[in-house]
Chains A and B, each alone.
Chain A
Amino acid sequence: MAVDIPKSFEELPTSAPRHIGRGRRRIEDPALLTGRTQFIDDVELPRMLHCAILRSPFAHARITGIDTQEAEALPGVVAIVTGEDALRWSHPAQSSPEGWGTHCLATDAVRYVGEPVAAVAAISRYVAEDAMELITVEYDPLDVVADPAAAMKADSPLVHAGQGTNVMMDRVFTWGEVEQAFEKADCVVSEEFRWNRMGANPTETFGCICEWDPLDLSLTIRGSIQSPSMFGLGRAATFALPSNKVNIISQPHGGSFGGKGGTRGTDVTCLLSRKADGRPVKWIEDRVEYLTAGGSQAWDRYYSASIAVRNDGIVTGLRVALVDDLGATGEAYGAICAAKPLAAFTGPYTIPVAEYDLKLVATNKVPSGPYRGMGPPPHFFVLEQLMDLAARQLGIDPAEFRRKNFIPKDAFPYMIPSGNEYDSGDYEEVLNQALALADYPALRSAQAEARKEGRLVGIGVASAIEPGVFDWNAYAIVGMPGTGVPEGATVSIDIMGFITVRVGFSLEGQGQYTLVSQLVSDYFGTDPEMVRVVYLDTQSAPPSFGPGGSRLGVAITGAVLGACDRIRTKASQVVAGLMQTEPENIVLRDGQFGIPGVPEAQMSVAEVAGTMLARSDLLPPDVDPRPEATHVWTAAGRTPADEEGRAKSYLTAAQAVHVVQVEIDRETGFVEIQRYCLADDCGTRLNPATVEGQTDGSVAQGIGAALLEEYSFDSDGQPQTTTFMDYLMPTVYEVPTVEKVAVVTPSPFTPLGAKGCGEGAIHTTPAAVLCAINDALAPLGQMAREVPAAPKRLWDLIRLAEDTSAEGSRTG
């Protein structure tokens, strides 16, 4: 059965969409606003126990003994697990790159501060923590390596002795005649950069309730789980269970941004449930656990990068060398973040050739994981600083320099050197809109005035691509197998005409249940209030990946519209039979099935559904009587990666230009963001209010990345930022008002022309803020190369400039 998915609003079976394409109240909100939504810590099960995890205080040590006797004797304690239990009942975690996973509880040595060593299940979290303190662990400290440059040296301590090296991967990818491009360049700009670890910190940490069934030998896991199907497959592998014996129930969760993590804690909790004879065990990661050893520490990177430029301002080549500190294991998939830049390596520019020298290194730090944007935000920070350096060197305005290098709007679909194809765009228009919104010439003249007064005012103009609708093939270079990421939905109309949609992902904040209700109600001419969206666990749901890689809005739109179309086809057969005509004569429009232009030959969706469900005796014999259909949408045309990692991977390419004005306090190094303007193009906007919300939130996270957020470690691998007093999340005071304008270039490849937009602004914000800071510092001859641009770092640079100039005036 051919399925016809509308490529634009005009193709929907409605005279005028009343819901899709409009911002509207979200169906998720009443429960959230009244405290009725059940997050994982709100769930109580009969006989449930509570887990507390004992963690390593050392970054590297051999475990020479564990004594749990005293803890076991504490009233209220039911089970205690250690590395012995992990060895007996589980396998090491799967990892990327492969072979760098360990057991969920340390079996021989600990490799980072916060690594789980033992865990207690007790009648309350309070008692579990009491018991935890009664466990004695003997450690024999080992030499620590907390710096990837040191870790790559021949005499470095080894994080995993058995590996013989700390280098998890070391490869150079070359796309085109890079050597030649750099030889022929009029000008080559090279610089080094440092992006410090930071990460997601959703307001809800990870939590789970694990239940081992000792008779069925199966696992049921409830949790704040972003990607339930993948999570379930991982647990099946860890516990050597058939995949149909692991059921994942994803509770609504308090944000994720890729940084929910939780696999290790879940595995520990599963072991506890098994040891407690199958009683359910709840583990709620507390904030200190999250900040010390949770799933969000991303992008611990050292860059060395260059661009080749012609005198006319055309960039002809890009070289990026990245040393990425992945921490102690590959279990958290931080490596994927190093691979993802392939999907947009050269950004919005026509740079024809590129090279990526990629080194993934193990150190005695928490395994690094994903975070919103996955890997491109630091990559674009680097690329955009190089663009500004080149523009400055050639005396070209940074906005115009970008304009010269943009992929022109008639060049799409456009293949970039690292192999991905961009779907559509009008980058110059986005630039024009952003510059107009900001009144760029006025900003520049105000800056010139401020500079005369010696003030450090800077303007950043940066552009980046948000790859949307991910595919696994983007990550082939770090060992992720396969191609294809499905999303399914089941749409059912009941006998009264009310519609239920069943999906495999739970609430996370992006408003996708509302989107589903908007789609269905416009398709069948009903109201969103008549649509119910129901979450199904992994043993019941249609194939689903859920949110991630800026995919779900597009993917669920495809799934829902596909399912609607399948119902339309079935219902048309039914109506044709009743009206004694051919199905192709039946048209669905504005909630009515019938023959166009014949008012008496019309049936409402509810009438058709009622007839199908109540009167199967009246239906044509070969028609399925249920007004229900499932459709599974998968991005078409994705190609397996070649040996250089090239693949058509992410389906869409949204683009943005941000214009930022900052002033640096010359005496203190503190940065004030004085103006924040952006234009972006993420194709058709299915729910503009929601898209704006994603943008606002993503700018805020980008501000945090640019100025505030950093996981610090000392040279012994001891974390320095384990509370919210020291890990600095932006508050309302630190986030500027964002002025926005939208450009809409629909994607030719997606349902309704929408592009992935969930990760959004964080691709551009850190780059833009740093461009502005470096523009401010330019008169001093200084440049911020390190993110976050914390006041102490900028103060150092300003002092350096003053010392240099003082020296200059002394010697000169």
Chain B
Amino acid sequence: MKPAPFEYAAPPTLDEALAILSENDPDEVKILAGGQSLMPLLNMRLARPELLLDLTRIDELGGISARNGGLSIGALATKRDVEDSALVRERNPLFMESTIMIGHPQIRNRGTVGGSMVQADPAAEYPAVAVALGAELVARGPGGERVIEADDFFITYLTTSLEPGEILTEVRIPDLAAGTGWSIQELARRHGDFAIVGAVAMLRLESGICVDLRVVIFGASDRARRHSEAEALLAGERPSAALFDAAGRAVGQSLEDPTDDVHASAEYRRDLARVLCVRTLTEAVERAEGSGG
């Protein structure tokens, strides 16, 4: 189980990386960040690029900072960087919680925020949280910089709207609005595994009325998706178990083409999506109430 031969480049700057990318056939290049998903594929020869372009020497792509009511996270920041960041802890506990749910410490020490986004695994936490939070993904390419809404970034299984020749440079995560109640939960066969199904819920309570709802299901189909029909059921209403159940049913019914594999049938996933929708909404409301919202 050894990789096929490849050329290797590890430029120290983004400009050099972009130049290398433009000089090569994009189909023959694989971009390496933390490698926690790509390296197994290389080892199994399921990916066999001519050139491996390693971004991990580009210091300018690291770092986490505050920016315009949100966080700017360099694409090469590791999950460990996020986990250790007081800024993230303070500004966005949902993003922090989703980080700690990822894999294991040894994976988080190496795996990057940008890598998870670009990998676009439908069962991964970061794309789901990015969709829920309305994150922006910043890419640089031959035509300059482009800002892509998370919902437009994730297309389907392992596919994003990054163009060939583009490199993801930054993920912009809006801060949680004051009083936001949130929840992220997932069901995996083992602790740390990719989720069979996961859910993210966010909302605020204004005078006891649900507003600013976000319900995202991941792991259940080709990509993490918002479920606006469930959100609509709750918007403007007082939270109640009956409404959560209705929202859950709406999620279950609207889930398109659920994944069917050795761990879970499509029908099972559909029902788990319902269950997790209810559970995350319940927890999100509890948090919102706890925050005095």
Contact = CB atoms under 8 A, between A and B. Distances in A.
A708 interface: yes
Interface in B265-282: 265, 268, 271-272, 275
B189 A288 contact: no
Contact of B189 (A129, A667, A708, A795): A708
B89 interface: no
B190 A731 contact: yes
Interface string A729-768: 0110110000000000000000000000000000000000
Interface stretch (B16-24, B70-78, B191-199): B191-199
B262 A734 contact: no
A129 B3 CA distance: 9
B264 A792 contact: yes
A9 interface: no
B190 A733 contact: yes
Q: In the complex, which range does the number of interface residues on chain B fall in?
A: 20 to 34
A728 interface: yes
B1 A288 contact: yes
Contacts of B196: 791
B187 interface: yes
Nearest to A712: B262
A166 to B, nearest CB: 25
Contacts of B5: 126, 130
A125 interface: yes
Interface in A683-722: 708, 710, 712, 720-721
Interface in B173-227: 187, 189-194, 196
Nearest to B194: A725
Contact of A670 (B45, B187, B192, B271): B187
A669 B268 CA distance: 10
Nearest to B44: A288
A728 B190 contact: yes
A790 interface: yes
Given A790-B263, A792-B263, A668 B187 contact: yes
Given A668-B187, A725-B193, A790-B263, A130 B4 contact: yes
Contacts of B2: 125-126, 129
Contacts of A133: 4, 45
B11 to A, nearest CB: 25
Interface in A263-289: 286-289
Contact of A708 (B1, B190, B194, B261): B190
A734 B191 contact: yes
A799 B274 CA distance: 14
B283 to A, nearest CB: 15
A149 B191 CA distance: 36
Nearest to A733: B191
Contact of A668 (B3, B4, B190, B275): B275
A133 B46 CA distance: 12
A726 interface: yes
A723 B194 CA distance: 14
A668 B189 CA distance: 11
Given A733-B190, A734-B191, A795 B271 contact: yes
Nearest to B189: A728
Contacts of A730: 190
Interface string A588-625: 00000000000000000000000000000000000000
22 contacts: A125-B2, A126-B3, A129-B2, A129-B45, A130-B5, A133-B45, A286-B1, A668-B187, A708-B190, A721-B262, A725-B193, A726-B262, A726-B263, A728-B189, A728-B193, A730-B190, A731-B190, A733-B191, A790-B189, A790-B263, A791-B187, A791-B268
Interface of A: 125-126, 129-130, 133, 286-289, 667-670, 708, 710, 712, 720-721, 723, 725-726, 728, 730-731, 733-734, 790-792, 795-796, 799
Those 3 A-B pairs whose CB atoms lie nearest each other, nearest first: A733-B191, A286-B1, A126-B2
